[in-house]
Amino acid sequence: MTKAAELREMSDEQLGLTLKDTCEHFFRLRIQAQTERLDAPSELKKNRRLIARIKTIQRERSGGLARSQAGDSTNPDSGETKEAVTAQTGG
């Protein structure tokens, strides 16, 4: 199994190829799980987590754009969105 530290050492291209290969392998495992008995059912969980690790690292490298946008639209004190607060206050 690939550790997160090993994944972080990979280049963006290597990470993309690893993601593609892992997704294809995961797809084959899911099909095999539906049609016949798997030798190691835990492989499904391992592949799903590896895909999540790779996507997380890719998101971190891209600058975390989604996190900064989400942080702008919420009120940090209440957790409500700006639109919800505006609707409540009438302004």
26-43 pLDDT, tens per residue? 999 999 999 998 889 999
d(CA 45, CA 27): 12
Residue 76 one-letter amino acid: P
pLDDT at residue 22, rounded to an integer:
97
pLDDT tens figures, 42-83: 999 999 999 999 999 999 999 875 555 555 555 555 555 556
Q: What are the tokens at 16?
A: 């993309």
Give the global pTM: 0.66
Distances (CA, A) of 54 to 10, 34, 38: 10, 26, 24
Domain ranges of the chain: 4-64
- Closest-CA residue to 18 (of 55, 43, 44, 46): 55
* Topology given in CATH for the domain delimited by 4-64: Helix Hairpins (1.10.287)
Q: How confident is the model at residue 89 (pLDDT cuts 50, 70, 90)?
A: low
Q: Is the pLDDT reported for residue 11 higher than 70? A: yes
